[in-house]
Amino acid sequence: MNAMQDAQKGEVVPLDELHKLQRIDKLHKDTYLGVVYAVEYGGNLKIASTKHPYSAIKALIRQIKTSGGDVNDFGKIYVSISHTNYRENESLLQKAFSESCVGLGKLYSITMQEFVAHIQNCNIEYRDETKEIEERSQECADFFKKMLFGR
């Protein structure tokens, strides 16, 4: 199994295939699902999470262009499978690479290969708790309806 082609629980795509991520943006519309993603930029890797990876990366590219950066410094993109605990997994991965953090944020001095190797060798859980979240949301809505309308 080639780690760059078949990363456990995700995929690595080149920037010129960014359009393929539009399907994920559409899939996540009106759901609790999201992804962890990593983007190569200028010898570093940005690790983040979002419900809409295509939109997030397009916004990042616009931001780089606006600030005078070179879009050619972008490389491959890793996107995890869809899961509801994507923010939690983003934090776990950022902590795992904290010693490689560059500056104040989500940029790390690691390669995509190091990132993918870590993903394959760690025990990250990719949960889909949609049903439980919907049940809790309904319970909360019912509580407030009862409080407001006495029903």
Read off the pTM.
0.82
Could you report the per-residue pLDDT of 75-112, keeping only the tens digit for each? 999 999 999 999 999 999 999 999 999 977 789 999 99
Please provide the distance, in angstroms rounded to a whole number, between the alpha carbons at the two ends of the chain: 57
Residue 4 has pLDDT above 60, yes or no: no
Average pLDDT of the chain, as a whole number: 88
83 DSSP assignment: B
Domain boundary assignment for the chain: 10-126
Residue 151 has pLDDT above 70, yes or no: no
Cβ neighbours of residue 107 closer than 8 Å, sequence gap 6 or more: 41, 44, 45, 46, 101
Could you report the per-residue pLDDT of 35-73, keeping only the tens digit for each? 999 999 989 999 999 999 999 999 999 998 999 988 888
Distances (CA, A) of 48 to 52, 91, 105, 143: 11, 8, 10, 34
pLDDT of residue 87: 96
- Separation CA 106–CA 96 (nearest Å): 12
Could you report the per-residue pLDDT of 108-129, keeping only the tens digit for each? 999 999 999 998 888 788 999 8
